Amino acid sequence: MSFLNMSQDDLAIIPARRQFLLQAGALAASVCLPQSLWAADKKSARRIVSIGGALTEIIYALGASQELAGVDTTSLYPEAATKLPSVGYARTLSSEGILALAPNHVIATEDAGPPAVLRQISAAGVPVTILAANDKFEGVLDRVARLGTLIDRPTQATQLVEKMKADWQRAREPILARKSPAPRVLFILSHSPGQVMVGGKGSSAEAMLHYVGAQNAVQGFDGFKPLTPEAVIAAQPDVVLFTDQGLSIVGGIDGVLKLPGVAQTPAGQKRRVASLEAMFMLGFGPRMPQALTALDNALLKVMST
């Protein structure tokens, strides 16, 4: 998921991204070359700049990694993607950095920007395609299918979709069969010791918690907001969930217990803290079924203590 490495200012404008999608969608419709034009120009190798870690993962899974000219900083998996030229963070792109890679297609999620940069890239004659950020399993399948069409790998995309559906069903079966009460989970996002946010309604973290049969412990706001001791204590979470990166930043479990209000919650009193790698847990890419199983196991493990 796309909020990785966001500043507090970035998070504050998340509600505006839907409006940008409408604008960017219109842009994409006007600047994307028809698939037939791709096929017509056989002499020109496709050079894709992928902006969004999940999109990069899908391109690798479809066997098209050789067509990648560059990626953004959230493209951390597979490891080979980290060796590719970087165009920087998805929300603070520069047209110069992207155009320097001589791409003939830029593919991004709706979180990419600023919009002016995308317009500059389009004006330079490079097709730009914006794919919707949909934090649902169905949204991942849609992106796989769309990318399969865009990069002329529809057969591979169909095969990947079918595999993901089978993996998802297997991952969901033990969750749906479970009779135990759903734990209350507080997701905390931390980029620095002084910047700690909690995931509310409609956040990517909440989507994963619902899939795993857990309750989001906070419901009074949408998206991500700064953590306050009053809100944490009122949430009374059974478990506090972090990304691996965020847990390291705050100093491990002992550091978590020093965060405002956490020690006064059931989770804090029992040291119930879980974490997973950020892009794995919240990337909403082709590894989503495996991420669901890993999150389920992590929550079960801490709840047993």
pLDDT at residue 44 in the model:
62
Give the tens place of pLDDT for each residue, 159-179: 999 999 999 999 999 999 998
Tell me whether residue 173 is in a domain: no
What phi-psi label fits residue 202: left (phi over 0), alpha (psi between -120 and 50 degrees) or beta? left
Tell me whether residue 133 is in a domain: yes
Using CA atoms, how far apart are residues 151 and 280, in angstroms rounded to an integer? 24
Residue 199 sits in a domain of what CATH number?
A: 3.40.50.1980
- Name residue, tokens 């879980």: 274
User: In which band, very low, low, confident or very high, does the pLDDT at 191 lie, cut at 50, 70 and 90?
Assistant: confident
Q: Give the max Cα distance, the chain.
A: 65
The residues with which 109 forms a beta bridge, in sequence order, are 131
pLDDT at residue 222 in the model:
87
Please tell me the pTM assigned to this model: 0.83
What phi-psi label fits residue 106: left (phi over 0), alpha (psi between -120 and 50 degrees) or beta? beta
21 & 164 share domain:
yes
Burial of 132 (0-12, 13-18, 19+ CB in 10 A): middle
**Cβ(117)–Cβ(94) under 8 Å?**
yes
User: In which band, very low, low, confident or very high, does the pLDDT at 305 lie, cut at 50, 70 and 90?
Assistant: confident
Give the tens place of pLDDT for each residue, 130-153: 999 889 999 999 999 999 999 999
Least confident of 11-25, 61-75, 191-205: 11-25
The DSSP 8-state label assigned to residue 261 in this structure reads T
* Number of domains within the chain: 2
12 & 155 share domain:
yes
pLDDT at residue 208 in the model:
97
Q: Residue 109 belongs to what H/E stretch?
A: strand 105-109
Query: Of the residues 116, 137, 168, which one is the last residue of a structural domain?
Result: 168
**Containing structural domain, residue 111:** 8-168
Q: Which of 29, 207, 71, 65 is nearest to 133 (CA)?
A: 207
